[in-house]
Amino acid sequence: MTDRSGPALADSQAVLTIDLGALAANWRALAARVAPAECGAVVKADAYGLGIEAAAPALAKAGCRTFFVAHVSEGRRVRAVVPHAVVYVLNGLLPAAAPVMIEHDLRPVLGSLDDATLWAKVGRLRPCALHVDTGMNRLGVTPGSVETVARMDLAIDVLMTHFVSSEAVKDSTNDVQIARFASVRGMLPNARSSLANSSALFLPQKPFGDLVRPGYALYGGNPTPAAANPMQAVVRLEAPILQTRVIEAGEKVGYNAQWTARRRTRLATIGIGYADGLPRAAMGIDDRPGGEAIVAGVRCPFAGRVSMDLTMIDVTDVPEAALAGASAVLLGDGITVDDLGLRSATIGYEILTRLGARYHRVYEG
């Protein structure tokens, strides 16, 4: 167990534990699922908040050779810790970025005709990927433009697209996108094909192509929201109980007094708030329950608004003797990133990528 970053424990508030063994196991499970296709790893947004410098080497050690990032700066960080990695930059090619990409051997994912024209000038023989948009209307050339790019004679080694709603198994959009991709795939016969993010690895159509691009599932998110999570949890988040107090029925808690005690209540104030990435939308207010923490094995609802650095929870059902020295588990012990996302009107992806900078971070495995 090594500490890599974040404040030292004595100074810290919450503790974020990242299980690199579980991360590696998740990658191996997905790689086995898609074989003989190659399994890459998406490590954009600081490896979904977990830390590129820890996550990328752990994935490389598990066998991953191909990494996807959003920004050039993230690509440089992967290059620094996994020197032989193949690194694709998903967000396309900005003119100022081209020399940096070449210097650090990063491969652009060309997402427009402008990107392709620029790479033809500065990178021509260097490998790149071409993104064809099959329905997202976000990045990527239209299917009708793939032929134009094919005639530019670039070293396109991957032809990729991205699903709109691969977590919705029965959504016919998946079939539409697979068919659109198939209609252009033959124009770049030497390129490898890549369609699938995490959830697409669980689609009955098995749209794996030659190279898959999971992110969320590697970090323990559930790629199959309608079913049990097949992945191992990777993050655990624990906040210290700073103090407890007993209030009478009818008393109010927190900013704007939006939570009312319905019984004599023992409250605990814990050292984590929205500045740490705990969504303010997880507030528990009268008539609308919010987030939960687990203290000594007992689920404890949030009481009142989440403040910047602090959150109050109702620990009345925790035996008093068990409170001494206990901490509150926000993620772990059965609370998943998907759960916290649901209770915060968002998704687990946002929970992960907003994990705060003030945590004491512990990397295990």
Q: How far is the CB of 171 from ligand PLP (least distance, A)?
A: 15
Retrieve residue 352's tokens.
């992960």
- Between CA 40 and CA 27 the distance in angstroms is 9
- Determine if 198 is a binding residue for ligand PLP (CB under 6 A): yes
The residue (of 43 and 154) whose beta carbon lies closer to ligand PLP is 43
- Determine if 191 is a binding residue for ligand PLP (CB under 6 A): no
Q: How many residues bind ligand PLP (CB under 6 A)?
A: 10
Q: How far is the CB of 236 from ligand PLP (least distance, A)?
A: 20
44 has catalytic annotation: yes
Supply angle C-alpha 185, 31, 134, rounded to 5.
30
Q: Which of 216, 255, 274, 349 is the catalytic position?
A: 255
- Determine if 327 is a binding residue for ligand PLP (CB under 6 A): no
Q: How far is the CB of 178 from ligand PLP (least distance, A)?
A: 15
Q: How far is the CB of 215 from ligand PLP (least distance, A)?
A: 3
DSSP state, residue 73 = H
Tokens 């009142």, residue?
304
- Determine if 358 is a binding residue for ligand PLP (CB under 6 A): no
Q: What is the largest CA-CA distance in the chain?
A: 76
- Between CA 122 and CA 152 the distance in angstroms is 13
- Determine if 90 is a binding residue for ligand PLP (CB under 6 A): yes
Q: What number of other Cβ atoms are within 10 A of residue 261's Cβ?
A: 19
The residue (of 216 and 274) whose beta carbon lies closer to ligand PLP is 216
Retrieve residue 71's tokens.
């920004």
Q: Kindly identify the residues of this chain, within the stretch 205-264, that bind ligand PLP according to CB under 6 A.
A: 213-216
Retrieve residue 297's tokens.
């094995």
252 has catalytic annotation: no
Q: How far is the CB of 42 from ligand PLP (least distance, A)?
A: 4
The residue (of 107 and 305) whose beta carbon lies closer to ligand PLP is 107
256, amino acid identity: N
Name the E strands within 78-224.
86-89, 107-110, 128-131, 156-160, 192-194, 211-212
- Give the x-and-dash track for 15-54 against ligand PLP (CB under 6 A): ---------------------------x-x----------
The residue (of 78 and 306) whose beta carbon lies closer to ligand PLP is 78
- Between CA 311 and CA 269 the distance in angstroms is 6
The residue (of 316 and 353) whose beta carbon lies closer to ligand PLP is 353
- Between CA 332 and CA 236 the distance in angstroms is 5
β 192-194/38-39 pair status: unpaired
Question: Catalytic positions, please?
Answer: 44, 255
- Where along the sequence are the contacts to ligand PLP (CB under 6 A)? 42, 44, 90, 162, 197-198, 213-216
